Amino acid sequence: MTSGSEQHKTARIPVRNLWLLMLYASDLFRELGRRNVAVEDNPDEIPDLVAKILLHEIALRRRRNLSMGYQTRHASLNRVRGRIDILHTASHQLLDRGRVACEFQEMTLDTPRNRFVRCALERLTSLITKPVLAADCRFAAMALRREGINGEYPDNRELPSVTRFGRHDAADKPMVDAAQLAFQLLLPTEDQGLHLLPAPSNNQAWMRRLFEKGIAGFYRVHLEKAIWHVAAGKELKWALSDQSAGSADIFPTMQSDIVLEHRVNEKRIIIDTKFNAILTKGWHRDTTLRSGYIYQLYTYLRTQENNDDPLSLQAAGMLLHPAVGYMLHEFIVTQGHKIHFATVDMAADAQSIKNQLLDLVHRCAQS
């Protein structure tokens, strides 16, 4: 159902719904599971929820001691520690004063990860709606500073270490997940007083990834695990019977966005998410579906057919696009495969978005 070609444009998405997508896309949401999905009733409070979780995780880590790391220090000492800086020692005549310049490693709490978490606390305060909660974030950040975590936000060389975990620091992950989401929530609010975010052409790739990850995260949490299996970013194999020696190095791979399997109805649904208008201007008509996307999804479905995999023979496909102010859901059946063309109205309230996404997959599974 549409009301004019102008409505087919992905125009403006409310910031609260971008926050909702970010929450769905985050590792934090997957760990929260069904306990906190009620936030959809009031998505404006997502920053408050993230702040509460971040404060809770920081309190847990401080109770068990924050993870420490090594930092390189240079100092003039009265004994040798680490490596001697001969040039600095000689040029400043330190030996005459009974001292030596050394370069050594020292344990510290002022690690890139702890600085990242402290900065997240400080920057969240501008989004939080409850003054008491904002004050709690400020006090927690000050407490971390008093413990010696005073460095700046990690630079590009340090950032990879923030999200790289080993056995000894795996307990930091929930805290870091909350801090990451806190920084993501800041992106749509760089301009003060902005309540709607235009669908940004400059950030099209970022928005496309966010939409894909958000939809996958939503289905992971909201679909019953006993009935549904959800896979994201699954590589699909070509049904090749032969190939030349050099073709393996240059032949492209296929990767689906989301694959859902209904165990009871024995139905597979391959979802391909796109972040643009589902309809475009055609050669001989005012509006038409984008043919390239249909060819791509059709290829996904047909190349996966395998008699040893019964679900592949009648798998359904869905092209899922965001829209603003309208909804569309049509389908065709070709060579045993039902292909759906659908939108989710990202201007609707959060509960409506949830209902739309669940309704789409249930209709596909029942068809």
Q: Where are the domains of the chain?
A: 14-67+110-196, 69-108, 199-366
Predicted local confidence at residue 36, as pLDDT: 52
199-366 in CATH: which number? 3.40.1350
In the chain, the percentage of residues whose pLDDT exceeds 90 is: 51
Predicted local confidence at residue 193, as pLDDT: 38
Mean pLDDT is lowest, of 1-5, 29-33, 76-80, 296-300, for 1-5
pLDDT band at 199 (very low <50, low <70, confident <90, very high): very low
The pLDDT tens digits of the residues spanning 261-304 come to 999 999 999 999 998 888 888 777 788 999 999 999 999 999 99
Mention every residue, 6+ apart, whose C-beta is less than 8 A from residue 318: 269, 270, 271, 272, 339, 340, 341, 342, 360, 364
Contact 345, 352 (CB under 8 A): yes
What gap in Å lies between CA 269 and CA 262, rounded to an integer? Answer: 8
pLDDT band at 129 (very low <50, low <70, confident <90, very high): confident
Decide if pLDDT at 143 tops 70: yes
H-type alpha helices, 166-223: 173-186, 204-222
Predicted local confidence at residue 41, as pLDDT: 67
Q: Which residues pair with 120 in a beta bridge?
A: none
The pLDDT tens digits of the residues spanning 319-353 come to 999 998 889 999 999 999 999 999 999 989 888 99
pLDDT band at 203 (very low <50, low <70, confident <90, very high): low
Decide if pLDDT at 194 tops 80: no
The pLDDT tens digits of the residues spanning 212-251 come to 999 999 999 889 989 999 999 888 888 888 999 889 889 8
Q: CA 193, 199, 200, 203: dihedral to nearest 10 degrees?
A: 110
